[in-house]
Amino acid sequence: MNRRQFIESHGATCTNWQWSWSFINDSKRLVIFGAWDVEREDKRTRIFSEDWRTNRQGHKNRGYDQSREHIRLIEEQGYSLMTFPMKHSPKNGDYQNGVAKIAAITPKLTEKTLVRVGTSWYASDSGGGSLLAEELGTPEKYPEGGRYTVTINAYERNSKARAACIAHHGCTCMVCGFNFNEIYGTIGQSYIHVHHVIPVGQIGERYEIDPVADLIPVCPNCHVMIHQTDPPLTVTQLRDHIREQSDRYPPHRRAKAARAKTNAASYAG
Ligand SMILES: [Zn+2]
Ligand SMILES: [Zn+2]
């Protein structure tokens, strides 16, 4: 099966089969990108970059505008992204600017999450928010020692359970309402911790996790605070605590205190 047959078997098309970088199926609201082996990083592949606009001779690359539009549809219109692996052919000149001869493709589509970093866009492996909790590597550091820590965090780090929790509850912190995508844009997309709410004393030997009832999305700050006590605070307890705290010390007073501190520091310097 060649590339065109493969793409068409998924109902997708492009403006030119020779030089297009990406393909679209409008009725399924799906965009397909080829993912170069040479652009592969740890858990993601760069599929598009503003640097790929022109080639080494300064001529505009012909696939650029079409793929830029495909990226826009994913970001702004909620099209989904899938990629298939492409092998770069070293025989036909150097790889450069995202344009090269294809040695081979693997006719298999995989669903990806689009992540923008600076002027490049990446197809990231881990959809549904499973990527960053592991990267941060922090859950086991919250509480100190004991069986409690180990047991609970095994549930919180189970990637299937995480994905099911996030699919149901979304990626907004259930304690404070913080949402990474709103503040950080696409690099924060789908990022959230999950917290396991069942105290370990209530877990029987054959306990099976219910990702919707037993796991909740929380931001890393609230997650750390939840685990300051043993047993951990509930969402309601931490919310009440935050409210009491801001009543006692309202935000405008905090800002004033911060300014006073800054002024003191600049006098001291
Ligand atoms: Zn929070
Ligand atoms: Zn937790």
Question: Considering only CA atoms, which of 161, 210, 163, 21 is closest in space to residue 102?
Answer: 21
Per the rule left: phi > 0, alpha: psi between -120 and 50, beta: everything else, 93 is left
Q: How far is the CA of 156 from the centre of ligand 2 (A)?
A: 7
pLDDT of 142 reads 37
pLDDT of 130 reads 36
Q: How far is the CA of 36 from the centre of ligand 2 (A)?
A: 38
Q: How far is the CA of 219 from the centre of ligand 2 (A)?
A: 10
Q: How far is the CA of 200 from the centre of ligand 2 (A)?
A: 12
Q: How far is the CA of 178 from the centre of ligand 2 (A)?
A: 16
Distances (CA, A) of 88 to 52, 100, 132, 232: 16, 7, 29, 51
| pTM exceeds 0.75, yes or no | no
pLDDT of 188 reads 87
CA angle 246, 252, 253 (to 5 degrees): 75
Q: How far is the CA of 224 from the centre of ligand 1 (A)?
A: 10
Q: For residues 167 and 221, is the Cβ–Cβ distance under 8 A? A: no
pLDDT of 120 reads 86
pLDDT of 55 reads 82
- What are 180-213's pLDDT values in tens digits? 999 998 888 888 989 988 876 677 767 788 889 9
Buried b / exposed e along 110-121 (16+ C-beta atoms within 10 A): eebbbbeeeebb
**Which ligand is closest to the CA of 172, given by its number?**
1
pLDDT of 132 reads 36
**Which ligand is closest to the CA of 221, given by its number?**
1
Map tokens 């990626």 to a residue. Answer: 171
**Which ligand is closest to the CA of 196, given by its number?**
2
Residues 6+ apart with CB under 8 A from 28: 11
**Which ligand is closest to the CA of 215, given by its number?**
2
Give all strands (DSSP E) within the chain, no chain letters: 22-25, 30-36, 44-49, 80-88, 102-105, 110-117, 120-124, 193-196, 215-218
Mark out the alpha helices in 90-210 (DSSP H runs): 131-136, 146-157, 159-169, 180-184
Q: For residues 133 and 126, is the Cβ–Cβ distance under 8 A? A: no
The residue count of the chain comes to 269
Q: For residues 148 and 161, is the Cβ–Cβ distance under 8 A? A: no
pLDDT of 127 reads 46
User: Which residues fall inside 5 Å of ion ligand 2, going by CB?
Assistant: 195
Q: How far apart are CA 1 and CA 103, in angstroms?
A: 14
Low-confidence ranges of the chain (pLDDT < 50): 127-152, 269
